[in-house]
Amino acid sequence: MADWNKPLPTVSGESKPYWDSCRLGRLVIQKCDNCSEFQFYPRGICANCWSNDIKWYPATGRGTVWSFTVTYQNRTPGFAEDVPYVLALVELDEGVRMFTNIIDCQPTDVSIGMDVEVTFVQANNQISIPYFKPVV
């Protein structure tokens, strides 16, 4: 991918450990030490039991495509250059789902149930964005 010209995520106190890990090439998700449920996106409390006893754990970085769409038209700067591209909901091995893009393959090769693994695209010196690519 060329120079990053898409919007950057907003890094908050709750999401800072996530983005710090992404910058280092590691995918992490939260797990509640009270009810043992994983969760994604980053939150200050457990979405399952409302405990504030949540910690960050390394994710396997592997999952499957749960759902996806192929975008063929987008005139927004930063996205127009990438069409067609795949926006997917990936279910990680840990059971949480996250929206992402599938890269390093043709959009027509993506399918529901496809095995994927995380890869990181550096947006700038401080932010790396997790994308997913097919497992080969």
Name 48's Cβ contacts closer than 8 Å, sequence gap at least 6: 32, 35, 37, 39
According to DSSP, the residues that pair with 86 across neighbouring strands are 70, 102
pLDDT above 70 covers a percentage of the chain that reads 99
Task: Tell me how far apart the alpha carbons of residues 121 and 99 are, in angstroms, rounded to a whole number.
Answer: 15
Question: Does the pLDDT of residue 3 top 90, yes or no?
Answer: no
pLDDT in tens, 21-35: 999 999 999 999 999
Question: Does the pLDDT of residue 1 top 80, yes or no?
Answer: no
pLDDT band at 115 (very low <50, low <70, confident <90, very high): very high
Mean pLDDT of the 41-67 span? 96
For 66, the token pair is: 């749960």
Averaged pLDDT of the chain: 95
pLDDT in tens, 6-23: 999 999 999 999 999 999
Task: Tell me how far apart the alpha carbons of residues 14 and 20 are, in angstroms, rounded to a whole number.
Answer: 11
The domain defined by 16-134 carries CATH number 2.40.50.840:
yes
pTM: 0.92
Task: Tell me how far apart the alpha carbons of residues 40 and 47 are, in angstroms, rounded to a whole number.
Answer: 9
pLDDT band at 2 (very low <50, low <70, confident <90, very high): low
25-to-91, 100, 102, 118, 135 alpha-carbon distances in Å: 19, 16, 17, 9, 17
pLDDT above 90 covers a percentage of the chain that reads 92
